[in-house]
Amino acid sequence: MTIPVDRLTDPAVRAFVTALNAQDQAAFQEALTPGATMSDDGSDRDLRDWTEREIFSSRGHMEIESEKGDGLDLVARFRNDTWGEMKTRWRFVVDGGKVARFETGQA
C-alpha cells in the first residue's frame, strides 16, 4: 500500500516528492531553501551533484510507503536507473515552508 503524493502531510515534503517524481528540476530547486543540505547513508553529500546523479540523470522516483513525525519522516521505495529499487528512509528539516535539509539512506 502506498500513500499518494498529494496526500503527504507536510506541504514542503509534498512539493519535494512531487518535483522529484516529475523530474522537474526547477520545481525541485524551488522546494529547497537556499543553501539546503543533505546526507546519504549518514555522510553529507554535495546536494547538486547527488541529486543530478541519483535523481535527474538516472530517473529517480519515490513511492511512499509510510510517513510519521508530522510528515517529515518517510519510508519509500526509491528507484533509479543506476541502482534499481530499494527501500529507503527520508527525513526532512523544513524551514519557512521549504526543505532545508534531507537525510536519506536504506531502510
CATH number at residue 54: 3.10.450.50
pLDDT tens, residue by residue, 31-73 = 999 999 999 999 999 999 999 999 999 999 999 999 999 999 9
Q: Which range of residues forms the domain containing residue 20? A: 5-106
In this predicted structure, the answer to whether residue 1 has a pLDDT above a threshold of 90 is no
Q: For the whole model, what pTM was predicted?
A: 0.96
The type of residue at 90 is: W
Measured CA angle at 50 (ends 84, 107), to 5 deg? 50
- Tell me how many domains the chain contains: 1
Half-sphere CA count of 29, side-chain side, radius 13 A: 7
Q: How confident is the model at residue 94 (pLDDT cuts 50, 70, 90)?
A: very high
DSSP string computed for 10-58: -HHHHHHHHHHHHT-HHHHHHTEEEEEEEEETTEEE-HHHHHIIIIITT
